[in-house]
Structure formats: structure tokens, C-alpha cells
Chain A
Amino acid sequence: MDYEVYRKVWESHVPIEFNLDGASENQTPYYSMLPRASYLCLHIPKVLRYFSQTSGGELVEIDAEAAWLEYNSVPLKTYYPIGVLFDMHKPKNAQVWTVNVRTSPRPPECHNVSKDVMERMFMQAVKEADYLKHKGEVINSMKAEQHVQLWKAVSQYNFDGLWAVIKPLMECSPTAPFFHIPIRLYVVGEPSFRQKAISPYDDGKQLVFSDAILRLAPNLIGQNGVEASHDFVCHGIPVPLNTPLVYLAKNLSYPDNFVHVIATPKG
């Protein structure tokens, strides 16, 4: 892992505007810069507190369990990393991403993600990623306190806490190479992400980002990526097609140990 690169990626924030659905015209939006590596469900209580305190003099309590988020009439999956949602949904010509906070009955497919549920989902993703990279051996060799520390570092946004425990999960060596690269591709407009068992090497040759995209979305990239119809972005960064997959996994993984890549149509 490259400390400088990983730290820079971790420190990246995105601007989000929250609007309360059904609020009076005088209600000002809640503006915030949120870390890409964090989760919306961790920040909703603060957003709701703001709306409770500013709603035209009378104090309105908003139940955190009843509130849900929506963009463009689509309920948001608040258990995806903020950076993933931002890269998927922010219009290309806008600086800020605008999210609606709704308190009307939530759609059946939009479950409430509490902090505890989020912790469980996060840890399961880490386990899946380690299963792909190391057959689950690293996560299983970690102590229960280290699992707790991993989530604590993410939920409290503490880089040093994260760095102290995440390194063994993110590393590989010539004697213990990654078996597969945990990479998920989100094609804008598709309901689910794409994922395949992608090895970092083929016949001793190091595979690169375009090899992974060719496996995941051959129709979007064309021959050698020259005719690619989409941009492929991770943490808001267009990923060079010749980036080695091992480098991506080591340095551009989100804290859940997956490399989340968003494909948006060019232009």
C-alpha cells in the first residue's frame, strides 16, 4: 500500500445538498461535505437534527427510522459508500449533488439501514473481499477487537485507526498473492452491480484495469478501450486503463476492501 495515495483517497470529500421534502419555502437546505469513504446512514441523524431545529420556529421531531433518502425519484441505497452514490448520481454538469429527505411512507424495497445493520453489512463485505483476495484467511486470523476497530475507524472517520488494522487485508506478496481482485462495476441505469472472479495474473502476466472491464462489460469498452462508450471512475478519478489490478486493490479500495467502479456514458 502507498500511504500517501491511500490517505489522499481517504480524505476525499463530496458536496451534498439535503432538502426536506414537504418543508416550507423558507426552509434552507442542509449543505455538507461528506467523506467518500463513509456511509449516508451515519450522517442522516445530523441532517434530521438540522431540519428539526430550523423548521420555522416550531420544533418538528423527525424520526430517524421513518426518514429515507431519494434522488430523482429513486430511493437511495444508503449502505453503498457515499463516493459510489455520488459518482453514480451526481449530474455531470452540476457541482453539488442534491438529495431529498423524505418522511412519507417508505417504498417496500427501501429498508431502513440503522447503524447496527450498516456495521453488519460492512463487515460482511470485508469478509467477502478477503475471501476473494486471500480465501478469507486474513480476516479470520484477525482478532474480534480488530474487527470492531475497523468499523469504529470507518464510522468515526479516523484514518490512523483504520491504517492500524486494514493493512494486512490490503497487502499481498510474491508468496501470498491475491487470488482474485474484489471489484464491482456499477453501470449507471442498471439495478445491480456486476462482479466476476477476476484474477490479477494470467500466465504470469500482470493484468490491468482494461482486462477487468473487458470481462465485466465487454460491450462498454470496445477493442483495447479505444472505442469505449463509457467513462470508468473510482473515487471520482477516471481510472487509466493500463493500471495494474493489484495496484487498484491495494490503493483504491474503499474501506470495505472492494474497488467500486462506476461506468457513466461518455459526453
Chain B
Amino acid sequence: MSEKVTVLLQHVGDAPILKQKKFSVDRARTIAWFTQTIRKLMALEDNQNLFFYISQTFAPSPDHTFEALKDCYALTGGDVSNDHLVLHYSTTPAWG
């Protein structure tokens, strides 16, 4: 079983566009950790927000692990090794 989760990022609205869109994230990491990591990559100011969304529907809890997110929301690419999680990101609230 893979210890990493493949994450594909897609920007929404005016969010900065990252060169790297595909990330391999340890299953035990949380959305809170990932948010801090991507904030640093984007060099966001303290007063700027960063929101992640799943299925363009809801923002996952900061305590969600990537293991749980993969099990519940990953898209399959034919076989398990191609499973990936699509996260949309925005600097303003996008879907409520």
C-alpha cells in the first residue's frame, strides 16, 4: 500500500498559480499542515487567507488527514496506484 497520497492542485479565481501542481503527501499529514506548507510556497502574507475545497463543494476540516480524504474523496485513475485527490484552492471563500 502506498504511504503517499497524490494531490493535484487547481487554482480558483485570483489565487496565485503554482508551478508545481502535483504533490505527494504523507498519509498522516493534515489539511492544517498542508495549508501552512502551501502558504509558504505562495509566500502569502499573514492577513491573506487560503482555502481548499473538495469536489468544488466543501472545505475539509483542518484536522482531516490525507489518508481519510483519499479514502472518501479520491478520484480513481483506473487502478489504485493512479488514485489522486483533487483540491481546488482559493484566497477568498469560493463555494460558500
A residues apposed to B, CB below 8 Å: 77, 109, 120-121, 123-125, 127-128, 131-132, 136, 147, 180, 191-197
Contact = CB atoms under 8 A, between A and B. Distances in A.
Contacts of A125: 61
B16 interface: no
Given A120-B93, A123-B96, A131 B68 contact: no
Contact of A124 (B32, B55, B58, B71): B58
A121 B96 contact: no
Contacts of B64: 192, 195
A127 B61 contact: no
Contact of B65 (A77, A132, A192, A197): A192
Nearest to A196: B71
Interface string B30-70: 10100000000000000000000011011111011100100
Size band of the B side of the interface?
Answer: 10 to 19
Which among B30, B55, B93 has the highest number of chain A CB atoms within 10 Å? B55
A123 B93 CA distance: 12
Q: Which of B55, B58, B59, B63 has the most CB of A within 10 A?
A: B58
Contacts of B68: 192-196
Nearest to A123: B96
A132 B73 CA distance: 9
B72 A196 contact: yes
A192 B63 contact: yes
Nearest to A128: B58
A195 B30 CA distance: 13
Contacts of B59: 120, 124
Contacts of A127: 57-58, 96
B46 to A, nearest CB: 12
A136 B95 CA distance: 12
A147 B58 CA distance: 14
Nearest to A125: B61
A55 B55 CA distance: 50
Contacts of B32: 109
Interface in B73-91: 73
A89 to B, nearest CB: 15
Contact of A197 (B60, B63, B71, B93): B71
Contacts of A121: 61
A193 B63 contact: yes
A132 B55 CA distance: 11
A244 to B, nearest CB: 21
A14 to B, nearest CB: 21
Contacts of B58: 124, 127-128, 131, 136
A85 B59 CA distance: 22
A128 B60 contact: yes
A121 B62 CA distance: 9
Given A121-B61, A192-B30, A192-B63, A197 B96 contact: no
19 contacts: A77-B63, A120-B59, A121-B61, A124-B58, A124-B96, A125-B61, A127-B96, A128-B57, A128-B58, A128-B61, A131-B54, A131-B58, A191-B63, A192-B63, A192-B65, A192-B68, A193-B68, A195-B72, A197-B72
